[in-house]
């Protein structure tokens, strides 16, 4: 009996380290396989939409949205929000028009701002007016264009007007809603920048309402970090009817909307104090 116990003890001492080694090796191989599979899926995703983009021409306005490009925008927005550790909180969605297109206007503090809108307001099909550099990115630019995104060159009035007219046409033809940031660029501090009044010409020409929204906290989400937790608030403040938009000058509309967003930011600052 004593010999049996000694034999069993020696066997366990020999077998246990070997079993532990095999277990760690199998877990390591499983993790490696999972990582390689994860990377492969991302590569296939890019290659697929690279192929789709080959059939998209940016030389003329869209006749209709490409559903694959639209799906790519939704999926990529969701993934990037996850990778960026973005935790959006959206309020006021019930105010959004449900029977027609609209111009979406908000402040702009982070690259995640349009992604949050695309991800959380996907039922409203919002495409953004972006800077030309974004539309020049290989694969990305054509995919965005196929989904209804447009580039605006604020340094060239003629080209900017062309973009405004095209955006208004998209709204009239019920192709998609249009989102634009009247500041024209990101505010890295969260403070509001001056508004470009020309942004509101889109709503006037298309005869659609303007949805005014306020983004709070996104200036903290500037890097990709899935382990962070950036709580970002998107609040739908108000919807200005199309009749009201048509009755006012664009500079007056820009001032009115800016005041609304500033009041929201000020109120949030007081509550934080």
Does 220 lie in the same domain as 166? yes
H/E/C letters for each residue in 88-100? EEEECHHHCCCCC
Does 48 lie in the same domain as 156? no
Domain that holds residue 226: 60-272
The pLDDT of residue 23 is: 46
Q: Mean pLDDT, 10 residues at a time, over the chain (273 residues)?
A: 37 43 54 65 65 73 89 89 87 94 95 92 94 89 93 86 95 96 87 93 97 88 63 94 96 96 89 66
The pLDDT of residue 187 is: 86
Q: Per the structure, how many domains does the chain have?
A: 2
Answer with the one of 22, 39, 55 that is the final residue of a domain. Answer: 55
What are the residues whose beta carbons fall under 8 Å from the beta carbon of 35, sequence distance 6 or more? none
Does 24 lie in the same domain as 47? yes
Does 125 lie in the same domain as 34? no
What are the residues whose beta carbons fall under 8 Å from the beta carbon of 85, sequence distance 6 or more? 221, 225, 226, 227, 228, 229, 230
Does 152 lie in the same domain as 113? yes
DSSP assignments along 143-156, one per residue: HHHHTT-EE--TT-
Does 112 lie in the same domain as 1? no
Q: How many residues does the chain have?
A: 273
Burial class (CB in 10 A: 0-12, 13-18, 19+), 134: middle
Tokens of 265: 């930011």
In the three-class reduction of DSSP (H, G, I as helix; E, B as strand; rest coil), residue 233 is classed as strand
Does 145 lie in the same domain as 112? yes
Does 21 lie in the same domain as 118? no
CB 236 within 8 A of CB 199: no
Pairing of strands 230-240, 86-91: parallel
Does 82 lie in the same domain as 43? no
Of 202, 168, 165, the closest CA to residue 182 belongs to 202
Does 145 lie in the same domain as 22? no
- In the sheet that holds 126-130, the strands lie side by side as 86-91, 230-240, 210-216, 103-106, 177-180, 126-130, 150-151
Residue in the block written with tokens 């062309």: 162
The pLDDT of residue 2 is: 42
DSSP strands (E only) in 8-113:
86-91, 103-106
CATH number at residue 131: 3.40.1130.10
Q: Which residues pair with 126 in a beta bridge?
A: 177
């Amino acid at each position: 009996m004593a010999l049996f116990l000694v034999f069993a003890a020696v066997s366990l001492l020999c077998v246990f380290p070997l079993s532990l080694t095999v277990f760690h090796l199998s877990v390591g191989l499983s993790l490696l396989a999972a990582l390689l599979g994860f990377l492969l899926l991302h590569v296939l995703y890019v290659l697929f939409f690279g192929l789709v983009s080959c059939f998209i021409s940016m030389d003329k306005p869209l006749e209709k949205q490409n559903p694959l490009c639209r799906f790519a925008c939704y999926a990529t927005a969701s993934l990037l929000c996850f990778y960026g550790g973005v935790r959006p909180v959206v309020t006021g969605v019930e105010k959004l028009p449900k029977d027609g297109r609209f111009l979406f206007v908000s402040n702009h503090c982070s690259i995640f701002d349009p992604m949050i809108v695309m991800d959380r307001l996907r039922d409203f099909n919002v495409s953004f007016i972006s800077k030309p550099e974004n539309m020049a990115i290989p694969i990305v630019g054509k995919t965005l264009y196929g989904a209804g995104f447009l580039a605006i060159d604020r340094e060239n009035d003629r080209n900017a007007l062309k973009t405004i007219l095209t955006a208004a046409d998209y709204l009239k033809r019920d192709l998609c809603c249009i989102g634009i940031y009247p500041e024209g660029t990101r505010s890295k501090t969260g403070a509001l920048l001056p508004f470009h009044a020309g942004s509101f010409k889109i709503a006037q020409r298309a005869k659609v309402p303007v949805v005014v929204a306020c983004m709070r906290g996104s200036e903290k989400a500037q890097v990709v970090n899935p382990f962070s937790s950036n709580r970002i608030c998107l609040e739908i403040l108000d919807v200005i009817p199309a009749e009201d938009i048509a009755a006012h000058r664009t500079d007056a509309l820009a001032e009115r909307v800016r005041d609304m967003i500033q009041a929201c930011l000020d109120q949030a600052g007081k509550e934080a104090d």
